[in-house]
Amino acid sequence: MTMNSIAQDHSKLGFIGIGAMGLRMAGRLINHGFPVTVFDRHADKAGALIKYGGTVAHSIAELASGADVVLSSLPNDAAVLGVYTGPQGVLDHIRRGSMIIEMSTVSPETSRELYRLGSACGVRVLDVPVSGSTPAAEQGLLTLLCGGDEESFNSAKAIFAAIGRQHFYLGPSGSGATMKLVVNTLLGVGMQAIAEAVAFGEKAGLDRQRLFDVLSKTAVIAPAHLGKLSKALVHDYRPEFAVGLMNKDFRLILETASTVHAPMPAAAAAFPINDAEFVDHPDYDFCAVIDRMEGLANINSARRKSQGETISSTK
């Protein structure tokens, strides 16, 4: 396979990591005509794609040895390195001249390390994290952020078009991962700002329903946050983008910012609220910080009322 020939009719894809996002992205690739072999350490997750035309590999080695392009969507840096390195990893079994498209949200340094390891094996590596939640993945509306060789990026556009609405080349290896952290800085800090604004408006006497309705119609609410308002209005915190994932991203953001000496006071202030919500409700959506701020505001009111009553009773 040459790098100019990734197409539905003859390029064999392997997809590792059939979680909430991986399931939907792999499914779209199958629906667009790509031959796709999948692997997940939970066999039942991989098996869910058989009815759509996917093939299940019994090991990473089996998947890697038969693929022209290996894609992955994994939860963290350790999982990525575990999948690609070691005697049972992708790099020990993938053919020279193949390509890796790593789509997890990980540190830029992990992306660059994978690129270095792939280059030593004669394999091209792109870091292509995605922006968007599970509904966007289902509908093919993700935004793809790519770092690596531009020639490889251009050769993979048929893949990108199957799973995303738009895709951008950002620069050398690690650039896609860096851009994802930039995007998720706004996502996480923006959600904390919304949570504070909502709690403030309620405590100042605004009707909750009207507050949410009007806020959702203003220009200050980003599209990524708009759907979260409708969920929070009815206290629906079922995960589309889990608070644990945002928690991991906050950590990556602050660690990377520290490395490059970028001041991040707003992100540093938002992170503890997200962290507390993650500890209490690890399976909630990240917009549950709205519920947390509403709860904190009510606690403060109750405490002040109790203090006021105590003072009155002692007079």
| CA–CA gap between residue 180 and residue 174 (Å, rounded) | 10
Task: State the number of CA atoms in the 13 A half-sphere of 151 facing the CB.
Answer: 6
| CA–CA gap between residue 172 and residue 152 (Å, rounded) | 11
How many degrees, rounded to 5, is the angle at CA 298 between CA 297 and CA 303?
100
| CA–CA gap between residue 125 and residue 152 (Å, rounded) | 8
| CA–CA gap between residue 261 and residue 118 (Å, rounded) | 29
> Which residues, including other chains, have CB under 8 Å from residue 263's CB and lie 6 or more apart?
257
Is 180 catalytic? The answer is yes
| CA–CA gap between residue 26 and residue 37 (Å, rounded) | 9
- Give the active site residue among 180, 217, 248, 315: 180
Type of residue numbered 271: F
Number of H helices, E strands in the chain: 14, 9
**Would you please indicate which residues are annotated as catalytic (active-site) residues?**
180
